[in-house]
Amino acid sequence: MVGVLIRMKLRMLRNSVRGRRAAAVLVGGLFALIAGVGTALVCGLDVGDPEVSVDLTAALLAVWTLGWLFGPLVTGGSDETLQPEHFRLLPIGSTALARGFLAAALVGVAPLATAVALCGLVVQGLRLGPVAAVVAVLAVLLQLAFAVLLSRVVFAGLGAVLRSRRGRDVGVVLAALVGLAFVPVRLAFETLGPVLLHRESPVFSAVLRALPSGWGVVAVHAAGRSDWLLVAAPLAGLAVLVVLLVPAWAGLLRARMTRVASAGGAAVRGGRTDRSGRRSLLPAGPVGAVAAKELRTWRRDARRRVTLVSPLLIGLALPVITTVSSRGAVDAIAFGGLFALGLCCLQAGNLFGFDGTALWQTLVTPGAERADVRGRQLAWLILVSPVAIAAALVLPAVSGDPGVYPWVLGLTPAVLGGSAGVVLLLSTYAAYPVPSQRNGNPFAAGNNPGCAAALRQLVMSLLLLVAAGPVVLIDLVGVLTDLPVLTWLGVLVGVASGVVAARWWGDLAHHRLVARGPELLAVLRTA
């Protein structure tokens, strides 16, 4: 069965990698392989002191193992080429299936790159003698299996949790925290490099070697010294871990195959369904109807919540962290709200993609395109304005420099309006399909390849700068001519340019939807 699963996975990979996606996969795979070769070279480097070499290798392999744990969160879930659901009706035990899935999981670009990186151990082993080389080969196999299995078990477990509505809200926060983790990671790189090379911290080296990711290199070097106990213990330890993880995964697979995932929000809380008598603050008519639908969808759809809550958390927390860690060099805190708004905008710029093919309804309704665009803009502003305005009112005071108030208060309405325009522009001009809503994993990100994402980011930033331009201009003039009145006038200018940007770009989105609606639907259909 193992052979069948591997062939099936290879065939599915080959069938799914076509056209534009092929380029993205190729570039991503190339980077992964370069990282792998780089790691192997660094590990194989003769740094003189073998102890340093052990620490360095253990550290790098720990990073690769962590990559298996956190990478899927960033890229949107672990590899789902083969899904256990497809095997639900076959007479195969879950342990046998887990073994087969393990073999298939070892096939692919990421495991290949990891295997290449682990080959640094073999290079070291060769230098230490033939026995050490054999030990190294064993260690490579065991560590690869361990990293892949650990990642799979963790995500299978997370997936089980994320299937519940509550669990998904936990997941939203988790995704935000992973985003935040980049900051401590950067700090770690800056401080740990010297610690490693000069062996400044014996505790740190001990921890690196005690982690399973460090066991392989310990064994290889022990083989070089003919210290057989230290060869056998780590290898046996890795083998035991692998053997223990397989049944754990089997259990989680069994749970996944026999339980039905609720698509999310099985019931609407309370009895508040639309009866004719219910009053609403939204305008009556098509625009209000779209806004009401959007607000409900933002509230009820876990994936939409991810796109809004996690950038807000990251956007508000990141400036705080950088300011604290750099001892207040810039007033980053004061502009936290704007930063968060920009991040939200980038994440949310695929509104039609989130809704899948539901766009057809707008297309068959006469004249609904305008209402669809304006209603979505309205709902967006209702959602993000309170946070942005509260941040603009509070954060400058917190930052200890009230002098930035006119700047922040002028930029906030400009960027708010700009964001309402940019989100719709991106959604109509650069939509991409997102996996069906019914599978319910909020981390299923859809195929938005890296380079396309970077381009979107660039366009979005430029457009937001355009919206903010007039405010920046008048505030600069105010500062240069020493006329505070002008900087306060910037607040009015900000409101005006926000309104103009939202209307103008909304109009562009509306015309695009009218002119190319069926083509947009065709793009979303490819999901």
Partner 1 sequence: MRPGEPVDLPAYGAGAAPDAPALLLTGLCKAFGGNTAVDQVHLAVPRGSFFGLVGPNGAGKTTSLSMAVGLLRPDAGSARIFGVDVWEDPVRAKSLVGVLPDGLALPERLTGRELLTYTGQLRGLDAATVAQRAAELLGVLELDSAERTLVVDYSAGMRKKIGLAAALLHAPKLLVLDEPFEAVDPVSATTIRTILQRFVASGGAVVLSSHVMALVEQLCDHVAVIARGRVVASGPLDQVRGGQSLEATFVDLVGGRVGGQEGLSWLAS
Binding of residue 166 to partner 1 (CB under 8 A): no
Helices 336-348 and 368-399 meet at what angle, rounded to 10? 150
Reading the block at residue 338, the tokens are 């704007």
> Among all chains, which residue has been given the structure tokens 């068959």?
364
> Among all chains, which residue has been given the structure tokens 């990282």?
35
List the one residue from 48, 258, 273, 281 that touches partner 1 (CB under 8 A): 273
DSSP code of 283? P
Binding of residue 307 to partner 1 (CB under 8 A): no
Binding of residue 274 to partner 1 (CB under 8 A): yes
CA pair distance 523, 515, nearest whole angstrom: 15
For residue 268, the SS3 value is coil
Q: Give the other-Cβ count within 10 Å of 28's Cβ.
A: 17
Q: How far is CA 455 from CA 339, 346, 347, 427, 448, in A?
A: 18, 11, 13, 14, 11
311 close to 346: Cβ distance less than 8 angstroms: yes
CA pair distance 404, 125, nearest whole angstrom: 60
Binding of residue 365 to partner 1 (CB under 8 A): yes
List the one residue from 265, 328, 446, 449 that touches partner 1 (CB under 8 A): 265
Binding of residue 435 to partner 1 (CB under 8 A): no
> Among all chains, which residue has been given the structure tokens 């080389």?
133
Which range touches partner 1 (CB under 8 A), out of 21-29, 384-392, 417-425, 430-438? 430-438
| Shortest reach from residue 51's CB to partner 1, in Å | 57
Binding of residue 267 to partner 1 (CB under 8 A): yes
Which is closer to partner 1, CB of 191 or CB of 276? 276
Binding of residue 268 to partner 1 (CB under 8 A): yes
DSSP code of 443? T
Which is closer to partner 1, CB of 124 or CB of 297? 297
Task: Show the site string, 366-405: x = touches partner 1 by CB under 8 A, - = not.
Answer: xxx--xx---------------------------------
For residue 435, the SS3 value is coil
57 close to 128: Cβ distance less than 8 angstroms: no
Task: Show the site string, 497-526: x = touches partner 1 by CB under 8 A, - = not.
Answer: ---------------------xx-xx--x-
Q: Calculate the dihedral angle through the C-alpha atoms of 195, 199, 200, 205, rounding to the nearest 10 degrees.
A: 80
| Shortest reach from residue 292's CB to partner 1, in Å | 7
> Among all chains, which residue has been given the structure tokens 């740190």?
204
Which range touches partner 1 (CB under 8 A), out of 43-51, 93-101, 436-444, 462-470? 436-444
Q: How far is CA 360 from CA 298, 352, 521, in A?
A: 20, 10, 7
Q: Give the other-Cβ count within 10 Å of 181's Cβ.
A: 15
C-alpha dihedral sign at 394, 395, 398, 404:
negative
List the one residue from 124, 297, 307, 399 that touches partner 1 (CB under 8 A): 297
| Shortest reach from residue 162's CB to partner 1, in Å | 16
Binding of residue 259 to partner 1 (CB under 8 A): no
CA nearest to 220, candidates 208, 199, 234: 234
Binding of residue 262 to partner 1 (CB under 8 A): yes
Binding of residue 169 to partner 1 (CB under 8 A): no
Which is closer to partner 1, CB of 41 or CB of 268? 268
| Shortest reach from residue 341's CB to partner 1, in Å | 24
Which is closer to partner 1, CB of 503 or CB of 516? 516
Give kind and range of the element (H or E) at residue 338. Answer: helix 336-348
Reading the block at residue 373, the tokens are 């665009």
Which is closer to partner 1, CB of 375 or CB of 421? 375
Binding of residue 351 to partner 1 (CB under 8 A): no
Binding of residue 437 to partner 1 (CB under 8 A): yes
CA pair distance 242, 367, nearest whole angstrom: 60
List the one residue from 135, 175, 178, 290 that touches partner 1 (CB under 8 A): 290
Which is closer to partner 1, CB of 314 or CB of 520? 520
Which is closer to partner 1, CB of 363 or CB of 476? 363
Which range touches partner 1 (CB under 8 A), out of 33-41, 144-152, 350-358, 483-491? 350-358
CA nearest to 366, candidates 517, 171, 251: 517
List the one residue from 357, 385, 447, 461 that touches partner 1 (CB under 8 A): 357
Binding of residue 446 to partner 1 (CB under 8 A): no
Residue ranges binding partner 1 (CB under 8 A): 262-268, 271, 273-276, 284-286, 288-290, 292-293, 296-297, 300-301, 355-358, 360-368, 371-372, 436-438, 518-519, 521-522, 525
